[in-house]
Amino acid sequence: MNCKSVCVLGGGAWGTGLAQALARGGHKVVMWALEPEVKESVNNEHENKRYLPGYKLSENLTVTNDIIEAATDKDFIIIASPSLFLASTIRKITSVPNVAEGTSVIAALTKGFVPSKDGPRLVLETIENVLPGIYKGNTVYVAGPSHAEEVAMGKLTGLIAASENAKNSIKMRELLSVPGLMVFSSFDVVGVQICAAAKNVIAIVYGALDAVSEHSQLFGDNSESLLLAAGLNEIQTFGMAMGATHPETFTSISGVGDLDVTCKSKFGRNRRFGQDLIKTDILSNFKDIDDLIANIGKIGYLPEGAVACKYIHDLCEKKNVKLPLCNGLYRILNKEIRPLDFLDEFLLAEKVKL
């Protein structure tokens, strides 16, 4: 294998999981993390005790708190920063010579939408607006059904590397083709990004229904499959409205595959948040969706779908797109309707599009 130098910007669970897969595959990986304790635990004990505890990490993976050091002289830079901090993270590396000159291949793992003065933006659009002009149309988006825990363990995982630049998509695919990862290329950068963001919204609703189904004579496994199918249709409707180019994106691992694992896996934070809507009345701690997003750190884990829900709602209003499930979750998080009332209204009023 041709060993590459790789930087991963972001020391969270997903960034750590992918960094571990690459390091285990023989690449030299430096991960940038804000937190000194992440640097200490990974470098000294080979474990990210804060964000991915219990998983032994390769000695090929090291952590620095210096973002310039992390990004300098790297063949590949992979961005795993949360969407709310994406633009500010990218700005910190634009002066690095290999970035300024465009010699590093840059990819993103970040899911969701990025706020801007002109409204929500997609991840690659945000990155390319900040990076030097040479990166326009040349960045790569990586997504797929890929919980960090299983990627870190080396369990077989499928990913999509989407880019307008076919060569860069192939380069990223080849980098990621390490034991445990099966990687495919795509040109549908919009569709893959929409799938990665919108599936988290559906997973929250799925989690709520799952919690209700535990003690319901009305809802069960059949109901959850109904919801999953309806959710996939909404993701495709929204994706095509946003400019997705390939309908098959939504029936690939980036669409139905990622949606399925996000809704059903025990590792899913969005599913967990949906369950907490029912089991712990977690919304009682917040006034509305804006208050929830502003104080999302108080939850104790990050349900990315709660943030994506607001942005999808805003974009759908602009484009006059009707998404009953996504809009229903917006109403729940904005405290306009109770979760149980919405499930009754949606699933029993024959609003499901199949």
Q: DSSP state, 257?
A: I
Across the beta sheet with 61-64, the strand order is 61-64, 28-32, 5-9, 76-79, 105-108, 140-143, 157-162, 181-186
For 28-76, the three-class secondary structure string (H helix, E strand, C coil) is EEEEECCCHHHHHHHHHHCCECCCECCCCCCCCEEEECCHHHHHCCCCE
The owner of tokens 């208050």 is 291
Per-residue tokens: 345 = 């209204």
Residue of 246, 119, 229 lying closest to 194 (CA atoms): 246
**Which residue among the candidates 199, 287, 318, 319 is catalytic per the annotation?**
199
Contact 352, 346 (CB under 8 A): yes
CA-CA distance, 160 to 183, in Å (whole number)?
6
Measure the CA dihedral 271/273/279/284, to 10°: -160
Q: From residue 39, how far is each of 7, 28, 283 by CA, in Å?
A: 14, 16, 34
CA-CA distance, 18 to 237, in Å (whole number)?
30
Q: From residue 97, how far is each of 25, 32, 102 by CA, in Å?
A: 27, 17, 8
**Catalytic: 199?**
yes
Per-residue tokens: 293 = 């997003």
Sign of CA dihedral 54, 255, 279, 290: positive
Per-residue tokens: 352 = 């499901």
For 92-126, the three-class secondary structure string (H helix, E strand, C coil) is CCCCCHHHHCCCCEEEECCCCCECCCCCCECHHHH
Angle ∠(221,225,229) on CA atoms, nearest 5: 170
Active site residue ranges: 199
